[in-house]
Amino acid sequence: MKKKILLLMGVFTIGICYAQVGINTQNPQAALDIHSIGSSASTKSLSIKNNTGTEIFSLRDDGRIITSGVASPSVLLDLRDGIDNAIVAVGESSQTGSTAQSGALKYDTSARSLYLSDGITWNALASDYIKAFVVADIGSASQTFANNTTNSIVNWTTISDLTGCFNSSTGVFTAKRASLYSVSLNITLDDGAINAQTYLQSSLIASGGQQIKCLTTFNSGGSIPAGVQCSGNFNLALNEIVTTSLWHNLGVSKNIKIGYSNLTIVEL
């Protein structure tokens, strides 16, 4: 008797595993097949309510999805319910534009941009984000540049920094977006003795390996002002940094001349 019961239970279990469930239909075509009572916007195929009886999700018979607060969706999925958290999150994708097909969206965290596929490539959508714009100068002679020594230029006074990407104390600029940046540095040293056949060198240095070096040479010596200008463009990755440095062999230690030195960084 026990063997017969176990056999019947086994057959019944197999039947459940492969059964198709139909709601409002005697001939289900899927594991769960729901047939609604209508075919228009006035009837629903699916309705989900919370424990207070409030409908939070439903599917109308015209194919439109209704979320909480949007009773009359204008498109297939409409989240415009007037609530500030009615948003859609789009993630990253390693697929090519052709694989994702035309109309697909993705978000690139490195570029911090939203992309739309045209069926071939991903195209960045226009956005009105604030670009980096930094202007700084030297407000006090708090740094000495020894002869024949390379030093980072620090202790800047920030005049403008729209995106908060410049550390005035360390002189470090951090790219908050993968983009092209224009960097311009102008350094003037205090008047004083300069040896003949010497030079002053400034450097713009990106952590990714890019460097731009600029020189001012002095064939004759004397008590004269010394300065150097340096500028260039950097294609920076997200969180890549740019620093500036100064080196000279003028013969004696030098200070930066107040009011005649500045740094400008602009995202293009």
CB 221 within 8 A of CB 193: yes
- Using the predicted structure, report yes or no on whether residue 11 has a pLDDT greater than 50: no
Q: What is the model's pLDDT at position 35?
A: 77
- Is the pLDDT reported for residue 155 higher than 60? yes
Residue 219: the pLDDT is: 85
Residue 5's SS3 state is helix
- Residue 4 DSSP symbol: H
Residue with tokens 């993630």: 91
Tell whether the model's pLDDT for residue 42 goes beyond 80: no
Average pLDDT, the chain: 84
Q: Which of 27, 31, 28, 67 has its CA nearest to residue 46?
A: 67
What pLDDT shows up at residue 126?
66
Helices (H), the chain: 2-17, 97-100
**More confident call, 10 vs 94:** 94
Measure the CA–CA gap between 14 and 21, rounded to whole angstroms: 15
CA distance 189 to 202: 12
- Indicate whether this model's pTM tops 0.75: no
**pLDDT for position 236:** 93
CB neighbour class for 250 (10 Å; exposed up to 12, middle 13-18, buried from 19): buried
When pLDDT is averaged across residues 149-162 and rounded to a whole number, the result is: 92
> Contact, 80 vs 66, CB < 8 A?
no
Tokens 């060198």 sit at which residue? 201
The answer to whether residues 175 and 238 touch, using CB atoms and an 8 Å cutoff, is: yes
The domain defined by 133-267 folds into: Jelly Rolls (2.60.120)
Position 14 scores a pLDDT of 46
Of 22-31, 89-98, 159-168, 192-201, where does mean pLDDT reach its minimum?
A: 22-31
Does 41 have pLDDT greater than 80? no
Average pLDDT over residues 92-101: 90
What is the predicted pLDDT for the residue at 230? 94
At residue 72, the pLDDT reads: 79
Mean pLDDT of 163-173: 93
Output 13 or 248, whichever has higher pLDDT. Answer: 248
Sequence-separated contacts (24+) of 12-18 with Cβ below 8 Å = none
pLDDT band at 170 (very low <50, low <70, confident <90, very high): very high
How much is the pLDDT for 128?
65
Question: What pLDDT is attached to residue 75?
Answer: 84
Q: Specify the higher pLDDT residue, 218 or 265.
A: 265
Q: Which residue has the higher pLDDT, 85 or 262?
A: 262
- At residue 263's C-alpha, the angle toward residues 198 and 166, to 5°, is 130
What are the residues whose beta carbons fall under 8 Å from the beta carbon of 244, sequence distance 6 or more?
152, 153, 171, 185, 202, 203, 204, 205, 263
**Where do the domains of the chain lie?**
36-124, 133-267
Reported as a single tens digit per residue, the pLDDT across 206-248 is 999 999 999 998 888 788 778 899 999 999 998 999 999 999 9
